[in-house]
Amino acid sequence: MTAARTQLDRRDLADAHRVAAAVSDAFSAKVVGQENLRESLLIGLLAGGHVLIESVPGLAKTTAARVIAESIHGGFQRIQCTPDLLPSDIIGTQVYESATNSFVTQLGPVHTNIVLLDEINRSSAKTQSAMLEAMEERQTTVAGTVYPIPEPFLVIATQNPVDQEGTYPLSEAQTDRFMLKEILGYPSAEQEVEVMFRMDAGLYDKNHRTRPVVTLDDVRRAQDVVRNVHMDQALMLYAGQLVGATRHPDQFLPAQLARLVEYGASPRATIALCQSARALAVLSGRAHVVPDDIAKLVHRVLRHRLILGFEAASKGITSERVIDAVLQAIRVP
């Protein structure tokens, strides 16, 4: 049996949709194209999840993160990940003050609303693990004392798929903490021209900040609405079956694909799929989830959680193809 959810008031749903639309418009005013990235960041913000972005440099990832933070009047910190970055550089540490002959705690940059971890795979596994408590429990522990992280809290991490020299692959535990993974492509020629026009207009000047369009309280109320969006039990089962098929590929996928899957997605993937589907429903102005919401998000939820073997890499078969086969194998309710 599922727990009863609060019946959504139409005004609450309209307010949440208005908040999402306002942030979306602020994003589009500053970032050219990247519609999928905009949608994923909004879903992460409203559903309380985190977003992993894979792309080559220069595709406005930092600008996108900063615009989201400024549009909600939230705090923003960018952390450039390097091999010598330490966990204390992220979560904070204790510093000795000679004037008082005592140690004081200095909290790290993770204690804010929007955190951009740029090139996360350039940091060591030890440093990457420093983010696990912050991303999952929304707190950090410094010298035995627990410090809560402000809400809303959204981690946006980037990794470069081309330059892999001097990088550390993300562990399964780390990637599983990201609700969605977005893969960015190059803009079209027309979009690049639009970027030039906006640069000439001074929209990318470092002093040109995005005007706040909503407040943090607005975002928190919108998150409450997302949590109460109706999702039929049949759709929950559908989400669970999609994820479950990745764990038992021999039962659902063609043999040539099934043998390439070493590990499927964890139950956290099912939770992420349901939460993100509820957020997508709010973005669409609906108080209920439909099957298309799940189908639209399943690649973003699963692509970084599937572990394929060496044979898949040698044949150029990606997780996208496996997910396509999973979608075809599971009947839509």
Question: What ranges do the domains of the chain cover?
Answer: 7-83+111-139+147-228, 229-333
CATH class of the domain defined by 7-83+111-139+147-228: alpha beta
Q: Which CATH architecture has domain 229-333?
A: Orthogonal Bundle (1.10)
Q: Are the C-beta atoms of residues 51 and 41 closer than 8 Å to each other? A: yes
What gap in Å lies between CA 176 and CA 170, rounded to an integer?
Answer: 10
Specify the pLDDT at position 58: 79
Identity of the residue numbered 37: L
pTM check: above 0.95: no
Ranges of H-type helices in the chain: 10-30, 35-47, 61-71, 87-91, 125-137, 172-175, 189-200, 216-227, 233-247, 249-252, 255-258, 267-283, 291-302, 310-315, 319-329
- Position 218 scores a pLDDT of 97
Per-residue pLDDT of the chain (333 residues; tens, 9 = 90+): 344 456 678 899 999 999 999 999 999 988 888 899 999 999 999 999 999 999 888 788 888 999 999 999 999 999 999 889 999 999 999 888 888 888 888 999 999 999 999 999 888 888 888 898 999 999 999 988 999 999 999 999 998 876 555 577 788 888 999 999 999 988 889 888 888 888 877 766 666 688 999 999 999 999 999 999 999 999 999 999 999 999 999 999 999 999 999 999 999 999 999 999 999 999 999 999 999 999 999 999 999 999 998 888 888 889 999 999 999 999 998
Rounded Cα distance, 202 and 221, in Å: 34
118 bridge partner residues: 80
